[in-house]
């Protein structure tokens, strides 16, 4: 089976030696971008220190670009590691999700809401 991130279909919007970024095919907000390791590894925990650093450097540059283009009010940066967390493409990648004031009724808790009703405090 061919990994869709090993041979990306989407337009590369950013890159460095060890990682690249594309817009998410199923975005949850405008500008939703994926930062993907060039080497096939299942999760970010399988990346070398250099690969992980390259991915997060690209996350930073993607947010700079998205701030200039879309002027979001914030970001969620997310990583799903393994099927139990919701990972569906078994190739290390990081979601950069621009957030806009009012896009949800109450954003408090952010990523804590990945398990329904556990994010309330």
Residues with a catalytic annotation lie at: 93
Q: What is the DSSP letter of 11?
A: P
Dig out the tokens for 1 from the structure. 């089976």
Among 42, 33, 41, 32, which Cα is nearest to 14's?
A: 33
- Cα-based distances in Å from 9 to 12, 76, 91, 109: 9, 24, 15, 34
CB–CB of 97/32 below 8 Å? yes
75 vs 95: CA distance, rounded Å: 10
Measured in whole angstroms, how far is the alpha carbon of residue 64 from the centre of its chain?
A: 14
């Amino acid at each position: 089976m061919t990994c869709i991130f090993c041979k990306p279909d989407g337009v590369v919007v950013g890159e460095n030696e060890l990682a690249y970024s594309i817009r998410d095919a199923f975005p949850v907000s405008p500008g939703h971008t994926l930062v993907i390791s060039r080497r096939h590894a299942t999760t970010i925990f399988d990346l070398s220190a250099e690969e992980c650093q390259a991915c997060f450097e690209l996350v930073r540059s993607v947010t700079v670009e998205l701030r200039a283009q879309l002027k979001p009010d914030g970001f969620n940066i997310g990583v799903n590691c393994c099927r139990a967390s919701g990972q569906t493409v078994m190739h290390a990648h990081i979601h950069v999700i621009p957030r806009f004031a009012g896009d949800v009724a109450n954003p408090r808790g952010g990523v804590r809401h990945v398990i329904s009703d556990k994010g309330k405090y």
